[in-house]
Chain A
Amino acid sequence: MIPSITASFAFLNDPLSLFFVFVILLISAPAAVYSVGYLKGGYSGGKVKLAWFLLVLFVLSMLAVVSVSNLVLFLVFWEIMSLVSYFLVIFDAGHEKSVQAGTVYIVMTHFGTALITAAFLIMYSYTNSFDVLTVKEAAYLIPDGVKGAVFLLLFFGFGAKAGIAPLHIWLPMAHPQAPSHISSIMSGVMIKVGIYGIIRFAVFTMGITQLWQGRLVMVFAAVSCLVGVIYALMEHDIKKLLAFHSVENIGIILLGVGGSMIFIAMNQPALAVFSMAAGLYHLVNHAIFKGLLFLGAGSVYKAVGARDMEKMGGLIKLMPYTAFAFLAGSMAISALPPLNGFISEWLTFQAIFAGALKSAGNGAMFWVAAAAALALTSGLAAACFVKAFSVTFLAAPRSAKAQAAEESPLSMTAPMLFLAALTLVFGLFSPQILRLLAGISGSTLGVYTRDMKFSVLNYGITGGLENAGSISGWLVLAALVFSGLAVFFGFRLLYGKQSFTPGRTWGCGYYAADSRSEYTATAFSKPFRIFFGFFLMPYRKIEKATHGGYHLKYFRYETHTTPFFRTFFYEPAVSASFQLAKTVRRMQPGSIHLYLAYIFATIIALLIFRGKF
């Protein structure tokens, strides 16, 4: 008997759903305003209308995904979201790359959907319901082994959408191809819907019972952090670089979420709430600064007409507002105080520290390793954004187009400056925001948090880390501003006003140096390329043509890195499946006699089957 599927249209309005609705709208609204200026000029009237239609459909489908309570409807909206975003990825279908990126995206997203669907069907078969809350009530009916399998299906299914390594390969291909306001929504918000899926279904609905679940999440999170940031360092396509950083930041978010899962299994409810809140804090922060950075990259792309950073430079003078906003985003993503990335990374470190403190021996070392991975990641991220900002905006222009760049219109700069202001707001009001987020994660985890203290101001965490470290965004900001101003005005009073005379850059006496002698993005990342050579496997392509063997006529030199997961995992998998298809094709040689024989054989087999059972 096939069970009839009833889908009732009910909405979840618990804090978790509302939080995601808030994040989606927080980024989509500025991105929509931005698209007014961004689409002007570059696209025909019909295409602009199509872009608006797809944008609205995209945002609505995401809102529906994070708020429906029925699993079947969830899958329907999930598919709409994936398909609409596919059309947005191939929106600039003139590029062959867009179509290719779209194909990889649609394959990977359906791989994820298949796993999620399987998980939902297993959940249904035990609980006989498609409603999230009913399934949650009846989750005790599911045996532990099956629960573990469902957890794996959900984690990798939603992980494919979130872009955890090694399922991330579609992300740096697809996100940069979309128009920039869509890139900002995709990287800022859509991949977070994958995180929503993990929290809503794996943590909230199914419940976490075993230690390995959280540990698995944390291991994948740490790997994503490092893989994302190392590839980002190698990239000089500015939008691809940002997309790789999304992989990294998803890793940081999942460090908090995974830590929370471990705390649940360790029976530390207060710390579980704290760790989840740290993850959610980084989630909203990443939405803000990544949305901002993609908008900035789009503004630069529109002005310069290229995404290759080696063709930019000097834009800080020509595009001051874009440069300022991009600087704020770069500082926030590099976790520099007093901006928001600093607070959430610091909270993640605190959660990890609490984990190390609460577990003994080997358990503690697991957390220490996670902390080391996070520290390396944040160091490398800062390096990467020094590269991204300085090569794009500083020094002398590297191309004629960069020299002629103009600042974007107000409709594009205003949303960027709004998001840049938010990076500061979310850094300064951290105690209040943490309190709110702790309430959200408390309600998700079923922990009563009203009486608990969650403060970043040295009050500690009741029932967890009584004597926690502390930091205040306000204090750091005050110290920075006060000492900076004291130095500036102090010396000004004592020694008079500073004056500057522009002169040539020192070139060891050689004064014909132009922008070609600047340090490039490739040169900047060379030490990293050599150090991480065991993973990146760099190689060179050299083309040479000579006149009669002595005089060099033409010389071309390229360095590339080997994409690890693509070369050693995806390409073998793809070629194996083509090989399999070729083998199967032999069954179909075009002879009608053979086909008749197949039909006959099938009938015989069915008859035997029917007779036996």
Chain B
Amino acid sequence: MEHGLRILQVLLIVAAAPLVGGLIKKIKNLVRMRRGAPLLQPYWNFFKLLGKSDEVISEHASWLFKAAPYAVISSAAAALLLVPLFGGFAAAGGMGDIVAVLFILALGRFFMALAGMDAASAFGGMGSSREMFISSLAEPAALVSFFALALNAGSTSFAAIAGNGVFHASSLTAGFALFMVAIAETSRLPVDNRETHLELTMVHEAMALEYSGRSLAILEYASHIRQMLWFSLIAGVIFPLPLPAGCGAALAAAAALVFVLKLAALALIMAFTEISLAKMRLFRVPDLLMFAFVAALASAILAAGGY
């Protein structure tokens, strides 16, 4: 019963994942005094691409190019299983581990970068190179903030971190660092720009440039899931609201509502961040990630001191 609920929760989150992207886009457009695309536009795009069954792929591409979208989406989904969602529970129960999430996400990134190189196009290679560059520099910041959270809880398991319930000052700084990491990991401004296909600015889009049809649909959905994962992680771990054991349906629904509100708040912050910042040059991005690393280190110092 409980396991069924947890799986259901993951399916719901996966189904709702594109909404976050749609919401951010809508907010950005509203602030810019535009009407913008409908909230559900990511879904329409997804179904449109799914309907195109025949894909034109590069003549140089190998089986890896065809298999990569499935590897990318399954790594995003598997990582999501470990992350606590509504009530501080991960689908995998006590099995969730905060460090392991980074490794599982790296699996999808690895295949995405390989696929980018496979079409013998300079664009794809450039995207892969930049993606691996940015993500390898984001990794220490992410890990050290995870360490800070884990030091607060005395364990790297999500159940302990999200079930902690005590507010720590170090969680705030860790959340700040993780937010910057999330900007880089979800390809948002000022690190990357999803809305343009200009060779100088592309990172994620450059890797997916050779994809079309169903493969592209899967890849885009995978990035929605990954974005959802980072948002839920920040929402669930930094501001944990653990659900007491054996509580009723009303409380569970309330927890779900609070979760949705937290996600919406994060989307709002992300949208305003994107509007107010210009795209950085590639070699300025390390400065941002270094800043994230320093914030993470500060939170680890706070956490080691017991704050």
Contact = CB atoms under 8 A, between A and B. Distances in A.
Contact of A372 (B58, B109, B140): B140
Interface in A518-549: 518-520, 523-528, 530-531
A335 B106 contact: yes
A357 B154 contact: yes
Given A386-B132, A394-B118, A504-B59, A375 B286 contact: no
A470 B94 contact: yes
Given A357-B151, A372-B293, A484 B73 contact: yes
Nearest to B61: A502
A333 to B, nearest CB: 11
Contact of A368 (B92, B139, B144, B286): B144
Interface stretch (A124-132, A404-412, A487-495): A487-495
Contacts of A387: 129, 132
Interface in B183-233: 209-210, 213-215, 218
Nearest to B148: A368
Interface in A435-465: 457-458, 465
A346 B56 contact: no
Contact of B62 (A317, A335, A488, A530): A317
B57 A519 contact: no
B227 to A, nearest CB: 17
A386 B62 contact: no
A353 interface: yes
A383 B117 CA distance: 12
A555 interface: no
Contacts of A345: 103
Contacts of A365: 300-301, 304
Given A337-B100, A524-B128, A395 B113 contact: no
Interface stretch (B15-23, B74-82, B237-245): B74-82
Given A361-B305, A371-B147, A394 B114 contact: yes
B275 interface: no
Interface size class of A (residues with CB under 8 A): 35 or more
B117 A368 contact: no
B164 to A, nearest CB: 11
A519 B122 contact: yes
A258 to B, nearest CB: 18
Contact of A470 (B97, B135, B282): B97
A375 B140 contact: yes
A56 interface: no
Contact of A475 (B75, B95, B123, B130): B95
Interface in B34-80: 50-51, 53-64, 66, 70-71, 73-75, 77-78
B300 A331 contact: no
Contacts of B50: 491, 495
Contact of B121 (A487, A495, A506): A506
B277 to A, nearest CB: 21
Contact of B128 (A335, A353, A386, A496): A386
B136 A376 contact: yes
Contacts of B171: none
Interface string B282-307: 11001000000100010011001100
B156 A350 contact: yes
A610 B109 CA distance: 76
B187 to A, nearest CB: 16
Interface string B74-115: 110110010000000000101101111011101101100110
A531 B132 CA distance: 13
Contact of B136 (A364, A368, A379): A379
Interface string A297-331: 00000000000000000101100000000010001
A467 B154 contact: yes
Nearest to B286: A531
A359 to B, nearest CB: 8
Q: Is the interface of B mostly helix, strand, loop or mixed?
A: helix
A383 B106 CA distance: 10
A495 B133 CA distance: 37
Nearest to A479: B78
Contacts of A471: 95, 97, 100
B147 A356 contact: yes
A327 B305 CA distance: 43
A540 B8 CA distance: 58
A375 B54 CA distance: 41
Interface string A482-520: 111001100100011111111111110000010101111
A360 B106 contact: no
B24 interface: no
B126 interface: yes
B119 interface: yes
A506 B120 CA distance: 9
B120 A518 contact: yes
A31 interface: no
B124 interface: yes
Nearest to A488: B70
A384 B151 CA distance: 31
A389 B137 CA distance: 21
B95 A472 contact: yes
A469 interface: yes
Contacts of A317: 62
A531 B133 contact: yes
B53 A498 contact: yes
Contacts of A467: 154-155, 157, 160
Interface in B135-175: 135-140, 142-144, 147, 150-151, 154-157, 160
A-B CB proximity, top 9 nearest: A519-B125, A379-B136, A469-B156, A390-B117, A383-B132, A484-B74, A379-B139, A479-B78, A364-B304
21 contacts: A314-B60, A327-B64, A331-B110, A334-B106, A364-B300, A368-B297, A368-B300, A379-B140, A380-B136, A386-B114, A387-B129, A394-B64, A395-B120, A480-B71, A480-B78, A483-B74, A487-B70, A501-B55, A503-B57, A527-B282, A530-B283
Interface of B: 50-51, 53-64, 66, 70-71, 73-75, 77-78, 81, 92, 94-95, 97-100, 102-104, 106-107, 109-110, 113-114, 117-126, 128-130, 132-133, 135-140, 142-144, 147, 150-151, 154-157, 160, 209-210, 213-215, 218, 282-283, 286, 293, 297, 300-301, 304-305
Interface of A: 314, 316-317, 327, 331, 334-337, 342, 345-346, 349-350, 353, 356-357, 360-361, 364-365, 368, 371-376, 378-380, 382-383, 385-387, 389-391, 394-396, 457-458, 465, 467-472, 475-476, 479-484, 487-488, 491, 495-507, 513, 515, 517-520, 523-528, 530-531
Given A502-B56, A519-B121, A527-B282, 8 more contacts: A357-B154, A368-B144, A390-B118, A396-B120, A467-B160, A484-B70, A501-B57, A530-B283
